[in-house]
Amino acid sequence: MTESMALSRHNSINLVIFDCDGVLVDSEILSQRVLLNMLEEIGVVVSEDYFLTHFLGFNFEHVTAKVLADFAVILTSEFRQRYRAALIEVFAAELQQTDHLQWLLSQLNVDSCVATSGSPEKVKHSLHYTKLEQYFDGQVFTSSEVKNGKPAPDLFLHAAKKMGVAPQNCLVIEDSNAGIRAALAANMHVIRYVGASHLKNKDSATQILEGVSTIGHWNQLFEQVPSLSSSFKIER
C-alpha cells in the first residue's frame, strides 16, 4: 500500500506540519538568487542544482559548513548578517504565498503549525509579508529550538510535542529531501510539495525519495487525504 492510499483510508491525521520556505511561501527562488549572488562576490560559484541538492531545507549552519568543506571559504557572521538583511529586503518587495495556499488553509479542518530550518527572524518576516500570521499565531517552531536541524527528526518531534499530537498522527508537508528525511525519521506521514517556483516545471525526479507522495497544487492534498478537508463526510 502506498503512503497516499494509507492516508486516504485512515482518518488518523490530527496535525499538519508545514515547512515554511518553498511550501507556505514561494521564497526559495528568492533565497537562491540572493545567496548565489553573494557567494559569487566572494569567489564561490555554485549552480542552481547545487543549491537544490546541498542547501535546500537546511539551516544556515549547514550551508556554512558545506561551503567551507567544498570551497575552503569561511562564511563569516558579517556575511550572514548581510545575507539576512538583503533577503528581508527582497522578501518585503517580492515574497508571495504559494498558489492557492489561503484557500487550502481556509478549508483545513485539523490543527496546523510551522516547522522551519529558517531563523525566527526570517520566518516572522515571511509570514508577515505574506499575511499568514493569522493562521499560525503561536504555532511556529524553528531549528533554533532543537539540538539538531533537519534531516534529524528533532524539529518535527518538538513541534508535535508542543502541539500535543503523537508523531504517527502528524502529516508533514515538505519540499526538500532534508525535510522529508526528518519527517520519516520522526515516524510521521509526509507529502512532498513541488508547486513553488524553485521546483515547478523542473525535472525533479532525482530529488524525490522513493515511496513519498508528491503534489504540485494544493487541491491535490485533499485528493490524497480527503479527511483533511472541511467538506469531508465520513461514510457510515
Task: Give 99-153 pLDDT, tens digit per residue.
Answer: 999 999 999 999 999 999 989 999 999 999 999 999 999 999 999 999 999 999 9
Is residue 146 within 8 A of residue 29, CB to CB? The reply is no
Q: Count CB neighbours of 99 within 10 A.
A: 16
Is residue 113 within 8 A of residue 132, CB to CB? The reply is no
At 59 the pLDDT is: 85
Residue 199 pLDDT level (bands cut at 50, 70, 90): confident
At 205 the pLDDT is: 42
Query: Above pLDDT 70, what percent of the chain?
Result: 89
Q: Is residue 204 pLDDT above 70, yes or no? A: no
Query: Above pLDDT 90, what percent of the chain?
Result: 81
At 207 the pLDDT is: 53
At 2 the pLDDT is: 42
Q: What dotted CATH number matches 28-94?
A: 1.10.150.240
For residue 192, give the H/E element and its range. strand 189-193
Q: Provide the CB-side half-sphere exposure for 14 (13 A, CA).
A: 11
What residue spans define the domains of the chain?
3-26+96-228, 28-94
Relative to beta strand 15-18, strand 111-116 is parallel
Write the burial class of residue 195 (CB in 10 Å: 0-12 exposed, 13-18 middle, 19+ buried).
buried
Q: Is residue 200 pLDDT above 80, yes or no? A: no
Residue 233 pLDDT level (bands cut at 50, 70, 90): low
Fold (topology level) of 3-26+96-228: Rossmann fold (3.40.50)
Task: Give 68-79 pLDDT, tens digit per residue.
Answer: 999 999 999 999
At 203 the pLDDT is: 58
